[in-house]
């Protein structure tokens, strides 16, 4: 081999595969190497979602608007939730915004591995890419919902404040929450298809125990700590605070954050542990 | 020469029923869990052999592959070839042993993995490329080449669900063919598509080999194996049976008798009551040396043997077979009393045990996969027993007329025909 050829040719990496046991490291380097695949899978999910729908992206506008109208009618008008001069349409919109992202992401994420069986049994890549992609693909719809909330704010002449910048980290928190729960459910779904039946029920129930249709201000004292065990409670109240300037984050938010962290880290490791048998059991 | 792949004492165990029993439910598992202590006690008491509910898909396989070598892997269905490729492609983990690979492994266990029908040809090229491990700029730079190879240029912005199956395959293979890993693992992807396309793929495979990349190539197409590889592994029941020069390995594979394959035995419980007094016992394929086999040579005779018993005298009974291609096209149908002489001498069959054997001449069938069905009936009176697809088998065309060209030939038959060339 000539000297120049030797310079061009890089020595390929030596990889060893052997049986792994028990809990393994997360291998985030591998995840980074495959970031382009993550991008393409997110892009595929978004593209396919609206491809053969007559109304296309209009659905992403229509659904949240319909939800806000129904909530405002049922809870705001029939159940008089808008006491004390609270703007109920905006209150529900600010709750539905993170909830919609979470519910959609969780639904897609728990079915994501089973839905991509053909990829898992035919090609190697870090399996974490699949649930992550399914969660991230909800961000486009979220962006559209956010524009609707902005429109509502302008309509009701609510001031736009610097506080709204908090929405960025809060959105990240919703994504991580959905992923935390989704990692558990998607991996469990590979073993037990029962998960597929449980998830829609879980999401509906979860919505009622989260402050979506009502404000968590209704819950006071010690109960708030227990209520915070629902990881979505803190972040939804956070959204309301950033948008409407309502109750600032307190102990409820802190408990929620701790819950998310615990769920997320345990979910990551559980997923990694199950990952090696996905191709055999799916 | 550096070693590109080193496989050491590789074993893979599957729990039986894990794959087929797809929908394990929670309740099943709770039951399983509750029985666990009991099982553990039993397991300790019995000297521990392999647990009953597991099978070894691979057992203690070791081999090395040199950089730039094209190694063929042959073996019957279920021998463990696919499991080996899956471990090498990192899709599944070994149960024991280790694999070392030098460089990026590209695996083509299927063409068009991850193709989405709603996306256009262009979009699928990017998606599929990314799934196979290509970088985006790599796909950008090869995009035109891929489109040219696929011959679907004018439909590149049409959703692939509108493609014909041929176009779909061409596009899928075009992406795969432009993958440039240091190690390429290919499983039987050439078995798809029309003859023209297969030829193109074989050509491309040959190019890949010449570029000095390491290739592992699994195929049931012995002509392709002989053409593309110099050396082969023969895998039998999860073990490495032989590593030898390709021609020797192919001979070994085609002549190694395996009593399970090439035979269909009927259990009493499988036979409907309506079959009585006829009772099928076995259907066998024997090669020219009389060995039971599921892969037969096109260039040699073989026989189809039906073993049965009759528990009461039957008049007008005829026993026959249907020969179909694996795709279900009828090739021929024949009965043991087709011949007028046998028809006269066997108008009635007394109680007893029989074998009806039919020998097919050499140079009859083309390479491919076939299926045999059996029929036992009295014409226009009663059908005693019928099974449309009782036994599958392969025909290998190695040595048949025209195999000097490594191309698949269209058609079901491959007779040795007389040609004259006058000048």
Closest chain B residue to A51, measured at CA:
B118
CB of B31 within 8 Å of a chain A CB? The answer is no
Of A48, A191, A192, the CB nearest to B119: A48
B372-419 pLDDT per residue, tens: 999 999 988 888 998 887 888 889 888 889 888 877 788 899 999 999
CB pairs under 8 A between A and B: 114
pLDDT tens string A34-50:
899 999 999 999 888 87
> What is the average pLDDT value for chain B, to the nearest integer?
83
Q: Do A276 and B14 touch (CB under 8 A)?
A: no
> Cβ of A3 under 8 Å from any chain B Cβ?
no
The answer to whether B2 faces chain A, any CB pair under 8 Å, is no
What is the value of ipTM here, to two decimals? 0.84
Does residue B83 have a pLDDT over 60? yes
Q: Supply the pLDDT for residue B49.
A: 44
pLDDT of A70 > 80? The answer is yes
B110 touches chain A (CB under 8 A): yes
pLDDT reading at B206 higher than 90: no
Give the strands of the sheet with B105-108, arranged side by side: B105-108, B183-187, B214-218, B70-74, B231-236, B239-245
Q: Which residue of B has its CA nearest to A124?
A: B91
Q: Quick check: B166 and B193 in contact, CB under 8 A? A: yes
Locate the chain B residue with the closest alpha carbon to A12.
Answer: B103
| Domain B263-396 in this protein, CATH class | mainly beta
pLDDT at B374: 93
Chain A contact for B113, CB < 8 A?
A: yes
Taking the domain B3-12+56-255, which CATH number applies?
A: 3.40.50.300
pLDDT tens digits for range B312-358:
999 899 999 999 887 667 899 999 999 999 999 988 999 999 999 99
Pairwise CB contact (< 8 Å): A13 & B103: yes
pLDDT of res. A245:
85
User: How far is residue A239 from each of residues A93, A170, A259, A277, B165, measured CA to CA in Å?
Assistant: 10, 7, 18, 39, 50
Q: What is the pLDDT of residue A3?
A: 37
Across B45-50, average pLDDT = 45
* Measured distance CA(A141)–CA(A143) in Å, rounded: 5
Residue of B nearest to A116 (CA): B114
pLDDT category at B20 given cuts 50, 70, 90 is very low
Given a cut of 80, whether residue A57 has pLDDT beyond it is no
Between chains, do B24 and A276 touch, taking CB under 8 Å as contact?
Answer: no
pTM of the complete model: 0.72
Q: Grade residue B31 by pLDDT with cuts at 50, 70 and 90.
A: low
B167 token code pair: 């176009």
**Inter-chain residue contact B92 with A19, CB threshold 8 Å:** no
> Domain extents for chain A?
26-44+53-275
- Judged by a CB distance cut-off of 8 A, whether residue A119 touches chain B is yes
Q: How far is B137 from chain A (nearest CA, A)?
A: 11
- A172-223 pLDDT tens trace: 999 999 999 999 999 999 988 889 899 999 999 999 999 988 888 888 878 8
In chain B, domain spans: 3-12+56-255, 263-396
Average pLDDT over residues A224-246: 90
Better-predicted residue by pLDDT, B152 or A52: B152
CA distances from A180 to A45, A140, A170, A259 (A): 20, 20, 15, 10
Residue B48's pLDDT is 43
Taking alpha carbons only, the member of A184, A189, A180 closest to residue A281 is A189
């Amino acid at each position: 081999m000539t000297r120049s050829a030797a310079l061009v040719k890089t020595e390929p990496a030596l990889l060893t595969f052997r049986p792994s046991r028990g809990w393994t490291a997360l291998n985030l380097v591998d995840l980074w190497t495959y970031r382009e695949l993550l991008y393409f899978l997110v892009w595929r999910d978004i593209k396919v979602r609206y491809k053969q729908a007559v109304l296309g992206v209009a659905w992403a506008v229509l659904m949240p608007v319909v939800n806000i109208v129904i909530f405002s009618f049922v809870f705001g008008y029939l159940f008089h939730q808008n006491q004390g001069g609270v703007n109920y349409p905006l209150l529900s919109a600010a709750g539905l915004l993170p909830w919609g992202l979470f519910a959609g992401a969780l639904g897609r994420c728990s079915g994501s591995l089973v839905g991509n069986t053909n990829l898992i049994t035919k090609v190697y890549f870090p399996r974490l890419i699949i649930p992550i992609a399914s969660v991230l693909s909800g961000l486009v719809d979220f962006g559209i919902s956010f524009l609707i909330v902005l429109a509502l704010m302008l309509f009701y002449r609510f001031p736009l404040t610097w506080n709204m910048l908090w929405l960025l980290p809060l959105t990240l928190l919703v994504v991580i929450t959905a992923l935390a729960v989704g990692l558990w459910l998607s991996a469990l779904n590979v073993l037990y298809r029962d998960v597929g039946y449980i998830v829609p029920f879980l999401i509906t129930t979860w919505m009622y125990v989260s402050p979506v249709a009502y404000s968590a201000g209704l819950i006071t004292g010690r109960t708030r700590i227990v209520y915070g065990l629902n990881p979505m409670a803190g972040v939804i109240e956070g959204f309301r605070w950033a948008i409407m300037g309502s109750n600032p984050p307190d102990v409820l938010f802190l408990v929620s954050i701790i819950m998310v962290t615990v769920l997320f880290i345990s979910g990551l490791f559980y997923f990694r542990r199950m990952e090696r048998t996905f191709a055999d059991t799916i | 020469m550096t070693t590109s792949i080193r496989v050491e004492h590789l074993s893979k165990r599957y729990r039986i029923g894990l794959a087929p029993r797809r929908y394990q439910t929670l309740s099943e598992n709770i039951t399983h869990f509750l029985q666990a202590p009991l099982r553990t006690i039993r397991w300790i008491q019995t000297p521990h052999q392999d647990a009953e509910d597991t099978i070894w898909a691979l057992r203690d396989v070791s081999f090395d592959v040199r950089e730039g070598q094209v190694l063929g892997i042959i073996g019957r269905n279920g021998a463990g070839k696919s499991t080996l490729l899956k471990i090498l492609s990192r899709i599944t983990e070994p149960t024991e042993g280790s694999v070392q690979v030098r460089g990026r492994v590209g695996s083509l266990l299927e063409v068009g993995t991850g193709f989405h029908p709603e996306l256009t040809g262009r979009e699928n090229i990017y998606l599929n490329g990314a799934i196979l491990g290509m970088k985006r700029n790599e796909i950008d730079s090869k995009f035109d080449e891929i489109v040219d190879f696929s011959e679907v240029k004018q439909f590149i912005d049409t959703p692939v669900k509108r493609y014909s199956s041929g176009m779909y395959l061409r596009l899928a293979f075009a992406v795969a063919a432009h993958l440039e890993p240091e190690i390429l693992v290919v499983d039987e992807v050439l078995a798809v598509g029309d003859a023209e396309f297969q030829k193109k793929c074989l050509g491309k495979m040959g190019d890949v080999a010449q570029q000095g990349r390491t290739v592992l190539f699994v195929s049931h197409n012995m002509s392709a194996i002989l053409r593309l590889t110099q050396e082969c592994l023969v895998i039998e029941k999860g073990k490495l049976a032989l590593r030898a020069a390709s021609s020797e390995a192919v001979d070994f594979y085609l002549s190694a008798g395996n009593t399970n394959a090439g035979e269909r035995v009927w259990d009493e419980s499988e036979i409907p009551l309506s079959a009585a007094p006829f009772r099928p016992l076995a259907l066998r394929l024997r090669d020219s040396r009389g060995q039971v086999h599921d892969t037969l040579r096109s260039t040699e005779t073989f026989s189809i043997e039906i073993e049965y018993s009759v528990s009461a005298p039957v008049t007008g009974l005829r026993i026959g077979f249907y020969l179909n291609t694996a795709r279900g096209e009828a090739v021929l149908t024949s009965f043991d009393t087709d011949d007028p002489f046998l028809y006269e001498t066997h108008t009635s069959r007394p109680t007893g045990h029989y074998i009806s054997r039919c020998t097919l001449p050499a140079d009859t069938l083309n390479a491919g996969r076939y299926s045999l069905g059996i029929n036992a009936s009295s014409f226009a009176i009663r059908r005693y027993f019928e099974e449309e697809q009782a036994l599958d088998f392969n025909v290998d065309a190695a040595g048949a007329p025209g195999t000097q060209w490594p191309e698949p030939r269209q058609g079901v038959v491959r007779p040795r025909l007389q040609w004259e060339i006058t000048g």
